[in-house]
Structure 1
């Protein structure tokens, strides 16, 4: 098995860190808390699966499977930079249904294609030197940075077994005519795989609808979530949201004390994300402002804490968004705070795993309000970290998060485009009885138990590809498209 991803072991990002933890676990490390660097060098024999695994990624300026591998490709700084721009200035906003932020460049598109070709070149070198044996020539391709790889693997005849793709971000509901050719290129290459995975049924249906419009020679079967290509080959879609290492989050060391980060804030509402327009940071700040306008008696009694790192420095749309968020945060604190208290504490650096878990466990509420987000693992981390507490916090969650389709009916819903609704939902969450909060977290944890991190990995890699029972299409369509989910039912 070969993992192909833009980021490697121990890098930032939900899937990378989750896979690192999983690989440490499967490769024989006895503890779920092994250092992420344990997997960073070379190949791993996964004895329980009887398979060898290698993780191919961009490492510095080289595409490689480990720091000292001879099977490398050097795309060059210009190609790497152009690929980065195309991914983040064009693909990222289009795939999140936010085309107003998109900037297309023919040159960067060419660099994106070249980067994917260089990735394939590294694998070709490995095959020529008999490094890739037949038994290891199956592939798990991760996300939009490498969307051309399934087609390149087919053309180079590099795959003897299975090509699986996991699409970690949304597939858009609507693609404007001017962008259809570029996004159609991704779809054309993705259907060269055997399995394409998505977090939600919505994303899978969006993909099928797009393929139906742009690739007329492909036959669709929505009931079985499958595609049949002109040559007869079958491509199956799997809806399997990324799971969580639940034991890690519930059993990881935590030590709340007078010196801990969480102890400094008193009563607080927590948010954890990046300063990215898809995450709804500006709407959150507007809702916090509205909250203190409507309930000024909460000044000095409640603090909003956001762990929110700057992202994609040097790209204008992200830099501008960050600057706007900083300005709005400063205005918020100036108008509602005083010398001894600030309504918003913005932590712009990463925090340790131990501190993060303490913050989860001691928050009065967790506020997650993306406009559009592939999944959002922090909601799962929060629910799992708090599962054993007698008085856990409440989860506030928007439908823009893919995880809403899993646990949204047990959360307090927020609407990022409605500051009045968001501020009211925050107040209601803070007033929820302890018994309801505890029951909600318990139901979330029960739902998360149905799909662990290892379950998710098995679904895309080691399990036999099988079509399974036909889906009740109408039922699934209603589930993701309905305007109102059932209540918890206390």
Structure 2
């Protein structure tokens, strides 16, 4: 069996409970092949310790049969590659926020420099028959850098964030360089059919790629495959989490405390892509338009801290605090607070209990690659008395979870109407919707995602001709 080599910005030890379902799914293949997980160590070293930009200390440790290999980054490289280009340019553009992108010319050089560094350090570790799986927007050019070093292994790439339509993606300086980097892979995986369509439109329009049978494309004298591989959750792992003491305790506490209320829940990172101010405005519209929700509906909104040193995130934090205060001040009573806003991380082990105690989940991002909270909420429900999922049509999950109540998060009144419908929904309809949603989550879980992508990557055969792949 070919060895699997996973490359991502951050490395997770799959033996640890905090690693999550994705790491567990990847670990099945890594363990069976004695594979490698390669990425950044998370450590930033100052020049006196780590040398000049572009040099790095490499660390290696065994996690059972899996070798974890990590690199430190210099402050200069980290700031340009991670803060600057990855999260200052690619993240906002991929989430359709051109207005928040900071196109600093020096950052792209740092982004390219770190991808070259990763390639130089990884290439000597590879064996001829390895299968390499590169993850996410931080490492788009890594495949082309490996090809330039002579690596002929099968290399796949999966983009966890949305891929915007070509006219928006083309706003990035050097967009053609990035997309040509994607064309160096044997298989490109996207979260949704919409993202896949955007990729195909771009390479056809900009590179005149030739469409072949079986989701294949001929471009730059080589053949690549592309497709939608919607990521799921580990249903069995999440069910086990739901039965553990922490989740059960959370469920019982929430049911006691909110026995006279209808509980709504939102669980998000504090990020402008999640549409949290829009969600609170929709909840305010619910209270304004539907007096029957007064003293009844309570929203628990968890917004975990994220990149709070960036101005755009500070602005959202202040807006959320202002909205929560305004809603509670205008509608609250001595014995009822409409919004409970929690600006800290809640342990994952407790979340299944919170989901199960809630009548409605609000998953309303302005743009999201997939959004696994939606799937976790579905799996956590009691099939006999399930809650209702209110889901943004702009989340990748909306392509699969069609029995949710799909909303436009920019439309506060329409979203409020959908929330009220969810609160009033008859039991039999809730059961029918939940049965359909749960079937989707079980069929297309994280193991299906991992198995299908690696099976497809394992059967690809790069058909290159002419000169070797050149560094971009």
- Normalization by structure 1: what TM-score? 0.82
Provide the residue aligned with 1:403 in structure 2.
Answer: 397
Structure 1 residue 207: Cα displacement: 0.9
Distance 1:258 1:91 in 2: 38
The alignment partner of 1:5 has SS state of strand
The 5 A counterparts of 1:43-442 are: 45-46=31-32, 51-59=33-41, 60-61=43-44, 66=60, 73-83=71-81, 84-124=83-123, 127=124, 131-135=125-129, 137-158=130-151, 160-176=152-168, 179-216=171-208, 218-221=209-212, 224-231=214-221, 233-252=222-241, 253=244, 254-256=247-249, 260-261=253-254, 263-265=256-258, 266-386=261-381, 388-407=382-401, 409-442=402-435
Distance 1:304 1:172 in 2: 31
Report 1 or 2 for greater relative contact order, CA contacts < 8 Å, sequence distance ≥ 6: 2
Q: Structure 1 residues 70, 143: CA separation in 2 closer, same or farther (over 3 Å shift)?
A: closer
Determine if contact 1:73/1:121 at 8 Å carries over to the other structure.
Answer: no
Determine if contact 1:56/1:63 at 8 Å carries over to the other structure.
Answer: no
Deviations 1:87-139 (A, max 9, x none): 11211111122212211100111111111111112213xx1xxx43334x321
Determine if contact 2:13/2:19 at 8 Å carries over to the other structure.
Answer: yes
Structure 1 residue 365: Cα displacement: 0.7
Deviations 1:277-328 (A, max 9, x none): 2111111010111111112342222200111112112122222222222222
Alignment: residue pair count: 432
Deviations 1:142-183 (A, max 9, x none): 01010010101111123x431010011111024348725422
The alignment partner of 1:192 has SS state of coil
Distance 2:304 2:452 in 1: 32
Q: Structure 1 residues 308, 177: CA separation in 2 closer, same or farther (over 3 Å shift)?
A: closer
Provide the residue aligned with 1:37 in structure 2.
Answer: none
Deviations 1:173-206 (A, max 9, x none): 2434872542222111011000000111110110
**Two-structure CA RMSD over aligned residues (Å):** 2.6
Where does structure 2 lack aligned partners over 5 or more consecutive residues? 45-55, 461-472
Deviations 1:324-361 (A, max 9, x none): 22222222222111343221111222222332001111
Determine if contact 2:61/2:68 at 8 Å carries over to the other structure.
Answer: no
Distance 2:237 2:366 in 1: 29
Determine if contact 1:73/1:118 at 8 Å carries over to the other structure.
Answer: no
Structure 1 residue 273: Cα displacement: 1.1
The alignment partner of 1:260 has SS state of helix
The alignment partner of 1:179 has SS state of coil
Bigger share in strand: 2
Provide the residue aligned with 1:446 in structure 2.
Answer: 439
Determine if contact 2:136/2:158 at 8 Å carries over to the other structure.
Answer: yes
1:6 aligns with 2:9: yes
